[in-house]
């Protein structure tokens, strides 16, 4: 079940966000990033925060917000996280599909991902299968803890 998160869910969303940060292969945030910083920019009531529950346990989440303020606020941006215990069961696809519907319902005209790490082939494939295009690639934009500097894609899809 995917549902809108309430403030009591935010700690669990932070825990999953932090797990992804600590893996050092998906998000550009590093180990010094605090819960307060992430709550200010991502996990808050101003953004669309949804959680996926499996048997009553929050197993994944996504956050949709405006990619830019003001005249750029019609394009959405999003972040996704799935607890590592629940990966490889299609939850990321379900969250992705749901987020596109929620973003469109909220009035966004498109979705843009600013940094999809090129070595995250599962994510690149997933987003392309959901209609996203790579509209640019930034060389060596991400420092992968095992592979060194790797490219990052900018991906876009109209809603």
Q: What is the pLDDT of residues 70-123, one digit of tens each?
A: 999 999 999 999 998 998 889 999 999 999 999 999 999 999 999 999 999 999
Two structure tokens written together for 14: 């932070």
Domain that holds residue 69: 2-158
Q: At residue 28, does pLDDT exceed 90?
A: no
Q: At residue 12, does pLDDT exceed 90?
A: yes
> Total domain count for the chain?
1
Coil vs helix vs strand at 101: helix
Q: Which residues contact 15 (CB under 8 A, 6 or more apart)?
A: none
The per-residue pLDDT for 24 is 79
Coil vs helix vs strand at 70: helix
Pairing of strands 110-117, 75-82: parallel
Residue 94's φ and ψ, nearest 5 degrees, are -65, -45
CATH number of residue 72's parent domain: 3.40.630.30
Q: At residue 126, does pLDDT exceed 90?
A: yes
- Mean pLDDT in the chain? 94
Two structure tokens written together for 69: 């303020």
């Amino acid at each position: 079940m995917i549902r809108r998160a309430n403030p009591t869910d935010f700690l669990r969303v932070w825990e999953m966000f932090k797990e992804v940060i600590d893996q050092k292969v998906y998000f550009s945030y590093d180990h010094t990033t605090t819960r307060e910083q992430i709550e200010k920019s991502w996990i808050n009531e101003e953004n669309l925060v949804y959680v996926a529950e499996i048997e009553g346990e929050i197993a994944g989440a996504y956050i949709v917000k405006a990619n830019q303020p003001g005249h750029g606020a019609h394009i959405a941006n999003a972040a996704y996280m799935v607890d590592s215990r629940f990966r490889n069961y299609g939850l990321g696809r379900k969250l992705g599909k749901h987020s596109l519907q929620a973003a469109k319902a909220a009035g966004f005209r498109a979705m843009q991902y600013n940094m999809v790490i090129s070595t995250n082939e599962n994510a690149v494939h997933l987003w392309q299968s959901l209609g996203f295009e790579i509209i640019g690639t930034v060389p060596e934009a991400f420092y992968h803890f095992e592979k060194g500097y790797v490219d990052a894609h900018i991906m876009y899809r109209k809603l």
